[in-house]
Amino acid sequence: MFEYLKQAFTLFFTGDDYLWSTIVTTAQMTTVSTLVSAVIGLPIGTALGKNSFRGKGVLMRFINTLMGLPPVVAGLVVFLLFCRVGPLGSFHIIYSIKAMIVAQVLLITPIVIGLSANCASAKAASFNETCHGLGLSKGKQIILLLIDCRAQLVSVVLTGFGRAIAEVGAVSIVGGNIQNKTRVMTTAIQLETGKGNFEFAVAIGILLLTLSFVVNSLAYSLQEKMK
């Protein structure tokens, strides 16, 4: 294992073009897809958790089902939509980072919605009573509840990030695992393992874990400051 660690950080600090291209693509895809999912999912999830309405139980069960959506299914849906003969083929984004981001958003957004709804529902009763007494508009109520749940929502976004950075199936289908274009760290591990290049695959794996650890550490520090 020491040799693998040595090789991983040697590759990192010597500026290996293949490795750095893979890292940059991974960071770009993961960051953008997580941010887009957070912008879409956090307000929707908070609104769902805060409010009660007919059919909410069915809607939440549907969202919970999508939280476990198999990545290959999400990849297949996006591929069929954006392939040359698909209804959105005119956008010409298949086998690109943009298509990978779309697939990731499809996977992550239900997770963000479901988890943020659970966070909001835990505070909904007392929060709704206070807001009703103050006569606040629905928009302001959602914003205030987002702020009130901010520490918990950091963990929600972090969960989405974890799903994004660990993804293989969907990004392989819509990205094509093209070197220096759509190859990310997880697909590189899969490829190098298939080629029998285990040392390089383990080295990438170690760097992937290190990147996740750094992001988690930063998020934990931010979460502590918000409490």
pLDDT 10s digits, 139-155: 888 888 888 888 889 98
**3-state class of 160 per DSSP?**
helix
How distant, in Å, are the alpha carbons of 49, 171, 172, 204 from that of 42? 10, 24, 27, 32
Q: For 119-127, what is the mean pLDDT? A: 81
Task: Determine the pLDDT at residue 63.
Answer: 95
- Show me where the domains of the chain are located: 2-226
Contacts of 177 (CB under 8 A, 6+ apart): 171, 183, 187, 190, 191
Q: What is the pLDDT of residue 182?
A: 94
User: Do residues 132 and 107 lie in contact, with contact meaning Cβ atoms separated by under 8 Å?
Assistant: no
- pTM, to two decimals: 0.90
- pLDDT (mean) for 162-178: 92
Across the chain, mean pLDDT equals 88
* Percent with pLDDT over 70 in the chain: 94
CA dist 192 and 24 (Å) reads 18
| Residue 171 confidence (pLDDT) above 90 | yes
CB of 82 closer than 8 Å to CB of 88: yes
pLDDT exceeds 80 at position 52: yes
Q: Is the Cβ–Cβ distance between 172 and 191 less than 8 Å?
A: no
The two tokens of residue 16 are 């290996």
* pLDDT at position 163 over 80: yes
Please report the pLDDT score of residue 78 as a whole number.
Answer: 96
Assess contact for 69 and 108: CB atoms under 8 A. no
Q: What is the rounded CA–CA span in Å between residue 178 and residue 11?
A: 20
Q: Which of 130, 142, 120, 107 is nearest to 36 (CA)?
A: 107
Question: What is the per-residue pLDDT for 1?
Answer: 59
Q: Are 156 and 115 in contact (CB under 8 A)?
A: yes
- Rounded to an integer, the average pLDDT of 169-187 is 93
- Right CATH for 2-226 from 3.40.640.10, 1.10.3720.10, 3.40.50.300, 2.60.40.420: 1.10.3720.10
Cα separation, 71 vs 170, whole angstroms = 5
Q: Residue 7 pLDDT > 80, yes or no?
A: no
Please state the rounded mean pLDDT for residues 18-41.
93
Angle between helices 198-226 and 185-194 (to 10 degrees): 160
Q: Are 155 and 227 in contact (CB under 8 A)?
A: no
